[in-house]
Amino acid sequence: MSWLTNFVRPKIRALVGGPKKEIPDNLWEKCPGCSTMLFKRELEENLNVCRACGYHMRLDVVRRLEILFDEGRYREISVPKVLVDPLKFRDQKKYIDRLKDAQNKTKRQDAIIVAEGTVGGQKVVAAAFDFAFMGGSMGMGVGEAIVTGARRAVATKSAFVVFPASGGARMQEGALSLMQMPRTIIAADEVKAAGLPYIVVLTDPTTGGVTASFAMVGDIHIAERGAQIGFAGARVIENTIRETLPPGFQRSEYLLDHGMVDIVTERKNLNETLTRVLRLLRKDKGGKNNFLLGPVPHGARSSKRI
Amino acid sequence: MQVLDFEQSISELETKIEELRHLSDGGRVNIADEIAKLQVKVEKQLHQVYDKLTPAQKVQVARHPDRPHCLDYIKALVEDFTPLAGDRLFADDQAIIGGLGRFSGQPCVIIGQERGHDTESRIKHNFGMAKPEGYRKAQRLMDMANRFRLPVITLVDTAGAFPGVDAEARGQAEAIARSIEKCLNINVPLIACVIGEGGSGGAIAIAAGDRVLMLEHAIYSVISPEGCASILWRSASQAADAAAALRLTAQDLEQLGIIDQIIPEPLGGAHRNREEMIARVGNAIGEALEELSRYDAKTLLNNRREKYLAMGKKSVS
């Protein structure tokens, strides 16, 4: 690789010419928000957020966990295996083959990782979706992971934080995937019944049966900036109402306006927000301005009167 | 009655019988014989077709406009029905009917999706596709049932929750999630009966019950076969293949452990003998109610949660 392939933008590179085969096409990425060409290494350092316009691109699930947990350290929790392809589903391709492809591509059993560690010193069990695995779709394996994570949180008295990134239920598992909706809601309820925080961090995209189940029953809903969040797909809605959708429809900010999420945050501020919320919910006595616990310094009282 | 494409020859025979009946006013014996013969033939053909309906044909039967709908069942089976309206938050959604009534003498709460039977009523009920206010009305009524210890009966018949801008703006996903949660948390029996089409999240929102009954030719699916085909086959015309692959028939779902009981339909489907169908549904719900009344609230709740926690863990034959 030469300086040319490393630092020159693809368009210019094409003008300069050079051996075509040697050009790796993954060094630069175009921002879907503002079309700026972004140097991939820089983009990754910036948590997949465009430095020009702040557009939040999707984040790889492992990276997600690395930036979530303190010092990037976490322990993955294994999820019991579930029945594979009970429907023997086949469209243009066999589901079992799609599943194997996704497993080979991601080196994961299913579209989710369950992990535990600390976030700002608070014990957390996290369940994060991998959108690269069949669109993060929820079948029995994902349902099992949510149940496993919830129970681990209860057993270790940890908060349970889920990061959905999903197109919805996995249709290749038919009504069995539909049944993961009540199933995951029961799991979330177990965490809440144990008096532990159940936090949902909605990331791009969260749609369909995932939104309409465990993702909408959190104690607190935090959405990453600009994430698509909704029930019905935009295309389906357009076909039903036969008109174009309003700008910003089904985005985090739209959900905030409509009362469905508590907080919309930039990715870089997510951990700080999460930590603050967890500390407050768990009555952690830390905090910078500890008025209640520390003695008030002489003369520090406000002279303001009502 | 609307004739489905695979019922064509049966319908022709039925028309012939009708014609002969008009002729037979003259009292000629051999016409009566002819009618009897034709009726035997009709029955034979109905058996031939309806004993082995394909999944795609079942989709058609489940959506047949002349099938008894929610209000038909309520009218025939529920005494003192008192419809209750509104979610106390925004509006009353007529896609979901709900209210108090007496089912074989027993006061209970009835909730169901109504699709309507003609243009006017279909518009009134939004074709059975509920908006958040519908699911929030269902939640409110389940809460009330819980407070007064009344069993809940739900009648499921929807293509799905309404996909519209207003529905999304008011939190369709949240409304469905909370409605499922409510089904799972009430301390009274919940019997769900899929009478026609059980369309995805819009259906499970009121169907996470202790007993889930399903009519013989009803369907229940995570996505409509048309929707599935347009995504996986990239063409809605492959809906028949999708219907087969999704395993959305009552027989498949019983095998998968998703539903508890199939209610047989009269020969030729519910639309051929509505009264008989309604009576059978009434009996099945009555039996389930009686059975569930034996459990105390704690057992009921535990069993229901265990049932849904096991979904997908059970071995499948």
State pLDDT tens for residues B12-21.
Answer: 999 999 888 8
Residue B83: pLDDT band with limits 50, 70, 90: very high
Determine the pLDDT at residue B18.
87
Which tokens go with B211?
A: 């007993």
> Is A191 a residue whose pLDDT tops 50?
yes
Chain B residue numbers with beta carbons less than 8 Å from the beta carbon of A185 are: 177, 180-181, 184
Say if the Cβ atoms of A189 and B171 lie within 8 Å: no
Closest alpha carbon within chain A to B307? A183
Q: Tell me, letter by letter, the H, E, C secondary structure of chain A.
A: CCHHHHHCCHHHHHHHCCCHHHCCCCCEEECCCCCCEEEHHHHHHCCCECCCCCCECCCCHHHHHHHHCHHHCCEECCCCCCCCCCCCCECCCEHHHHHHHHHHHHCCCCCEEEEEEEECCEEEEEEEECCCCHHHCECHHHHHHHHHHHHHHHHCCCEEEEECCECCECHHHHHHHHCHHHHHHHHHHHHHHCCCCEEEEECCCECHHHHCCHHHCCCEEEEECCCEECCCCHHHHHHHHCCCCCCCCCEHHHHHHCCCCCEEECHHHHHHHHHHHHHHHCCCCCCCCCCCCCCCCCCCCCCCCC
Q: Which candidate, A131, A183, A113, places its Cα nearest to that of B307?
A: A183
DSSP β-bridge partners for residue A224:
A265
Q: What is the pLDDT of residues A117-159, one digit of tens each?
A: 999 999 999 999 999 999 999 999 999 999 999 999 999 999 9
Q: Specify the amino acid at residue A284.
A: D
pLDDT of residue A24: 61
DSSP label of B265: P
For B74, B88, B97, B109, B212, the CA distances from B100, given in Å and listed in that order, are 11, 17, 11, 5, 20
User: DSSP class of residue B230?
Assistant: I
Cβ atoms within 10 Å of B37's Cβ, excluding its own: 11
* Count of positions (residues) in chain B: 317
Tokens of A184: 């995951």
Instruction: Note whether A178 contacts B171, CB cutoff 8 Å.
Output: no
Residues of A in contact with B164 (CB under 8 A): 232, 237, 240-241
Q: According to the model, what pLDDT value does residue A80 have?
A: 94
User: Alpha-carbon distance A54 to A267, whole Å?
Assistant: 10
More confident: A18 or B314: B314
Confidence of residue B148 (pLDDT cuts 50, 70, 90): very high
Return d(Cα B168, Cα A258) in angstroms, integer. Answer: 9
Contact A176 B167 (CB under 8 A): no
Question: Are A178 and B222 spatial neighbours (Cβ–Cβ below 8 Å)?
Answer: yes
Measured between alpha carbons, how far is residue A128 from residues A60, A220, A223, B145 in Å? 10, 16, 14, 37
pTM recorded for the entire structure: 0.91
pLDDT at B33: 85
Mean confidence (pLDDT) of chain A: 89
Give the number of C-alpha atoms closer than 13 A to the C-alpha of residue B308, restricted to the C-beta side: 30
Separation in Å, CA of B166 to nearest CA in chain A = 10
* Contact criterion met (CB < 8 Å) for B169 and A258: yes
With beta carbons less than 8 A apart as the criterion, state whether A169 and A177 touch. yes
Cβ contacts from A onto B, under 8 A: 175
* CATH class of the structural domain B58-309: alpha beta
Q: A95: which 2 tokens?
A: 């589901």
Smallest CA–CA distance from B234 into chain A, residue: A92
Round the average pLDDT of chain B to a whole number and report it.
94
* Chain A environment of B245 (Cβ under 8 Å): 87, 89-91
CB-CB neighbors (< 8 A) of B159 in chain A: none
Tell me which CATH code domain A59-281 carries: 3.90.226.10
Q: Is B16 exposed, middle or buried (0-12, 13-18, 19+ CB in 10 A)?
A: middle
Pick the residue from chain A with its C-alpha nearest to B165. Answer: A237
* Strand duo A159-163 + A28-30: pairing: unpaired
Q: Which neighbouring-strand residues pair with B199?
A: B221
pLDDT at B314 exceeding the cut of 80 = no
Residue type, A13: R
Pick the residue with more confidence: B72 or B28? B72
Query: Is the pLDDT at A216 greater than 80, yes or no?
Result: yes
Task: Give strand pairing partners of B151.
Answer: none
Degrees to nearest 5, angle at CA B246 with B245 and B252: 100
Cβ-count burial A162-184 (b if 16+ within 10 Å, e if not): bbbbbbbbbbbbbbbbbbbbbbb
Instruction: Count CB atoms within 10 A of the CB of residue B87.
Output: 22
Q: On the CB side of B178, how many CA atoms lie within 13 Å of its CA?
A: 21
**For tokens 């109504």, what's the residue?**
B114
Q: Compute the Cα dihedral for A258, A261, A263, A267 and give only its sign.
A: negative
Distance from CA of A225 to the nearest CA of B (A): 18
**Contact yes or no for A232 and B163 at CB 8 A:** yes
Quick check: B313 and A237 CB within 8 A?
no
pLDDT at A231: 97
Q: Does B316 touch chain A (CB under 8 A)?
A: yes
Bridge partners for A162 per DSSP: A127, A200
Tell me what pLDDT residue A288 has: 62
List of chain B residues whose C-beta atoms are within 8 Å of the C-beta of residue A216: 171, 173-174, 176-178
- Say if residue B317's pLDDT is above 50: no
Nearest Cβ partner for B311 among A176, A208, A260: A176
Lowest mean pLDDT among A232-236, B57-61, B181-185, B245-249: A232-236
| pLDDT above 90: percentage of residues in chain B | 88
CB-CB under 8 Å, B316 with A175: no
Q: What is the pLDDT of residue B315?
A: 47
CA B253 from chain centre, in angstroms, equals 14
The answer to whether B245 contacts chain A (CB < 8 Å) is: yes
Task: Find, among B26, B35, B65, B103, the residue nearest to B282 by Cα.
Answer: B103
Give contacts of B168 with chain A, Cβ < 8 Å.
Answer: 230-232, 237, 249-250
Inter-chain touch B248–A260, beta carbons under 8 Å: no
Which of A148, A166, A176, A184 to mutate: most B Cβ within 10 Å?
A176
Residues 6+ apart with CB under 8 A from B315: A83
The amino acid at A126: A
B306 reaches A (C-beta below 8 A): no
User: Within the 134-163 window of chain B, which residues sit less than 8 Å (CB to CB) from chain A?
Assistant: 161-163
Where does the pLDDT of residue B95 fall: very low under 50, low under 70, confident under 90, or very high at 90 and above?
very high
Residue B177: list chain A partners with CB under 8 A.
181, 185, 211-217
Looking at the complex, report in whole angstroms how far the Cα of residue B257 sits from the nearest Cα belonging to chain A: 9
Where do the domains of chain A lie?
Answer: 23-57, 59-281
Question: Is there a contact between A83 and B312 if contact means CB atoms under 8 Å apart?
Answer: yes
- In this prediction, residue A23 carries a pLDDT of 52
CB of B231 less than 8 A from some CB of A: yes
- In sequence order, which residues have a C-beta less than 8 Å from that of residue B98 and are 6 or more positions away? B83, B84, B109, B110, B111, B112, B137, B138, B141
CA separation for the pair A291, A302 (Å, rounded)? 12
Residue extents of the structural domains in chain B: 5-52, 58-309
CB B160 within 8 A of CB B203: yes
Report, as an integer, the average pLDDT of B292-307: 96
Distance from CA of B49 to the nearest CA of A (A): 25
> For the complex shown, is ipTM > 0.90?
yes
Contacts of B178 in chain A (CB under 8 A): 216-217
Q: Is B256 on the interface with A (CB under 8 A)?
A: yes
Query: How confident is residue A239, by pLDDT bands cut at 50, 70 and 90?
Result: confident
Distance from CA of B191 to the nearest CA of A (A): 15
Q: In this predicted structure, what is the pLDDT of residue A240?
A: 80
Q: Worst-scoring range by mean pLDDT, A11-15, A187-191, B31-35?
A: A11-15
